[in-house]
Structure 1
Amino acid sequence: MQQRPLGPFTVSAIGLGCMNLSHAYGQPPSPEAGRELLARALDLGCTLFDTAALYGFGANEELVGPVLKPHRSKITLCSKGGMAGVQFPDGVKRVIDGRPEAIRRNCEDSLRRLGTDVIDLYYLHRWDKQVPIEESVGEMSRLVAEGKVRTLGLSEVSAATLRRAHAVHPITALQTEYSLWTRNPEIAVLDACRELGVAFVAFSPVARGFLGTLSDVSGFDAKDIRRSMPRFTPGHYAANRALLAPVQALADARGVTVAQLALAWLLHRGEHIIPIPGTTSVAHLEDNLAAADLALSADEMALLDGAINQRSVQGTRYNSTTQAEIDTEEFSA
């Protein structure tokens, strides 16, 4: 497995986003299947594992922790706080809360569920716009001073917010969606990360299945978050699927999958970029990690750039409610 720097750590060039094993895309796999996939990732040389307090409202950390514990000194463990499940009279609901006391509570809960004394990279999952970023990162820096966290990260923030946070405490990584069909980081964040020496961690690098094997959006589970994403509505999705023809042709010519091309494209975009695809399939995991060794020519990069981009894709990334919660730059209409 190729390696890349992530702050003080050296990690596999492609990591594993663990969310799918407990959260977001409908009925998750059984815990046994989840443990099998995590074990296979370890066997294949994956050393970067990404989870969060939100995923399954703690269930993902409880799944991941015991599997990774025997390998703790050989892997980089990442989790996130500032957005978690909170118990209400009518059930557990997602709440964004960047107050210092909430971040501390989230972190201590994560440490307990993960069965570890320290989290290598701890992200602010979402910037709570009711709380100055300096206050949230200030509390996170105290977690570093206390030895509960080694390094800090941010998720779904703009270059301006990154700079404000970095002035309080060095930020090791910024995590945002980035793929052929989501190019928002190219507006400002990628350059800011490069300038500040911050690693860029790309989540949903195969576009939530669009650049994988997802062909039909009519059968989504009732709890699948893609049901509320405009790009996955039937009309938009049919138009977006049509964009894949030249990409599929290149994949066929190279004897690889579209997902492998998409991951290799990201790796070629910059040495500071680390994709973290998630999957519930061992076969897809093996394909994804193999993409670290796929070399692309300048002509192939240009073909991929031109086929699927912010000008050709139909539908916004999030609906208006979710969009209001994030801080990433957006292309003008």
Structure 2
Amino acid sequence: MKFVEVNGIKLSQLMIGTGDIKKWGSTEMLDQFVAAGGTAIDTAHQYREAEKIVGQWLRETGNRDRVVILTKGAHHDDGSPGARVTSEAIRKDLSESLERLGTDRIDLYALHRDDPSVPVGPVIEELNRHLEAGTVRAIGASNWTYLRIKEANEYAASHGLKGFMFNSVNLSLAKANEPRWEGCVSADEATSDWHKANQLPLLSWSAQAGGFFAGLFSPEDRSNAEMVRVYYNEDNWERYRRAVKLAEMKGVSSNQIALAFVLNRPFPTGAIIGPRSQSELNDSLQAMNIELTGEQLEWLNLEREELA
């Protein structure tokens, strides 16, 4: 297992997502993930029952001190209507997440969505209160643009506070035509350049682009409306063809190449995965061992025409 560090917290580079945990039918996948050396679990207040299931699993297994919990709050579509990126909503969601998870601290706490109309100052001030109280060990942003994170961190620096310590947006080899879900943010080249310059860890959701590189789709098959809307474009199909070619050269799968693309960025990264079986988990674990050169990364991303 390889690791990434956030504010002194060491977590596995692969993180297991629990958004679909109710569909698993059991928590066996969590057991398998931890047995394989995984330490990071991604969940959210907005996932309704997921935090409760994870909390029960933590109690039954005694694994709280073995894992790093990333949870999120202040989602615009979670709870009472109206503004959600507020001090009140953050306090409410965090308190309920702590109770559901049965823990006294959240290792990584992220705001699930942004509201660009909200000034960053009060948000950073509220999050710092929880850092000082010890109920949160690191703060981050999920689905915030890098410009808003930059603004927030500049505010923090000028007021003697701590800024965002990680970012969680979509980063994948396939580039999204439009947000997969309302309010979501995907990392473009400017975002990647900013992370490279600042070395702020990026924990990617949908790192494998919903299975785009798994050989399940084709330009002619337009039966999956969401995949067509988000990922179908000629550049992505060329990226897919190149991933297949490089996979053949390395003796791995194109899906593993896509995950390795995220894990081999020139800045700290993690990838949130959603395996549905032991074989899918093993596939992702093996992808961590794939080393990609700068030239290969550029070629996969269509930044160069030839691969020497």
Post-superposition shift, 1:74? 2.1
* Cross-structure match for 2:30: 38
Counterpart CA distance in 1 for 2:68 and 2:140 is 13
**1:21, 1:280 within 8 Å by CA — same for their partners in 2?**
no
Post-superposition shift, 1:241? 4.8
Residue 59 to residue 305, structure 1, CA distance change in 2 (3 Å): same
Residue 299 to residue 164, structure 1, CA distance change in 2 (3 Å): closer
Deviations 1:90-143 (A, max 9, x none): xxxxx7611111111000111111111100010011112342222222212112
**1:80, 1:123 within 8 Å by CA — same for their partners in 2?**
yes
1:275 to 271, 276, 287: 271
Counterpart CA distance in 2 for 1:214 and 1:116 is 40
Residue 239 to residue 48, structure 1, CA distance change in 2 (3 Å): same
* Cross-structure match for 2:11: 11
TM-score (norm 2): 0.81
**1:7, 1:198 within 8 Å by CA — same for their partners in 2?**
no
Question: Please, which moves more after superposition, 118-127 or 278-287?
Answer: 278-287
Counterpart residue type for residue 105 of structure 1: K
Counterpart CA distance in 1 for 2:7 and 2:71 is 15
Post-superposition shift, 1:72? 1.7
Counterpart residue type for residue 132 of structure 2: A
Deviations 1:50-69 (A, max 9, x none): 111112xx211112223245
Deviations 1:229-259 (A, max 9, x none): 7226xxx479955652332232233221222
Please give the residue correspondences for 1:108-127 in structure 2 after superposition, counting only pairs within 5 Å.
108-127=95-114
2:67 to 72, 75, 94: 75
Counterpart residue type for residue 229 of structure 2: P
Deviations 1:170-211 (A, max 9, x none): 221011101111385343333433444521111111001212
Counterpart CA distance in 2 for 1:111 and 1:130 is 28
Counterpart CA distance in 2 for 1:276 and 1:156 is 14
Residue 59 to residue 230, structure 1, CA distance change in 2 (3 Å): same
Please give the residue correspondences for 1:1-333 in structure 2 after superposition, counting only pairs within 5 Å.
1-22=1-22, 28-30=23-25, 32=26, 35-55=27-47, 58-69=48-59, 70-83=62-75, 85-86=78-79, 97-166=84-153, 167-168=155-156, 169-182=162-175, 185-215=187-217, 218=223, 226=226, 230-231=229-230, 236=232, 240-241=236-237, 244-306=240-302
The number of aligned residues is 283
For the aligned residues, what is the CA RMSD? Answer: 2.7
Counterpart CA distance in 1 for 2:213 and 2:20 is 16
Q: Percent of aligned positions with the same letter in both sequences?
A: 28
**1:53, 1:79 within 8 Å by CA — same for their partners in 2?**
yes
Deviations 1:143-187 (A, max 9, x none): 222221111000122222112222322221011101111385343
Unaligned 5+ runs, structure 2: 157-161, 177-185
Question: Please, which moves more after superposition, 130-139 or 189-198?
Answer: 189-198
* Cross-structure match for 1:323: none
Residue 180 to residue 8, structure 1, CA distance change in 2 (3 Å): same
Counterpart residue type for residue 15 of structure 1: M
Question: Does the residue aligned with 2:141 lie in a helix, a strand or coil?
Answer: strand
TM-score (norm 1): 0.76
Question: Please, which moves more after superposition, 255-264 or 68-77?
Answer: 68-77
Counterpart CA distance in 2 for 1:15 and 1:293 is 16
Counterpart CA distance in 2 for 1:150 and 1:124 is 14
Deviations 1:279-320 (A, max 9, x none): 323321221122111122445334312299xxxxxxxxxxxx
Unaligned 5+ runs, structure 1: 23-27, 89-94, 221-225, 309-333
Post-superposition shift, 1:213? 4.9
Residue 188 to residue 143, structure 1, CA distance change in 2 (3 Å): same
> Greater relative contact order: 1 or 2 (C-alpha under 8 angstroms, separation 6 or more)?
1
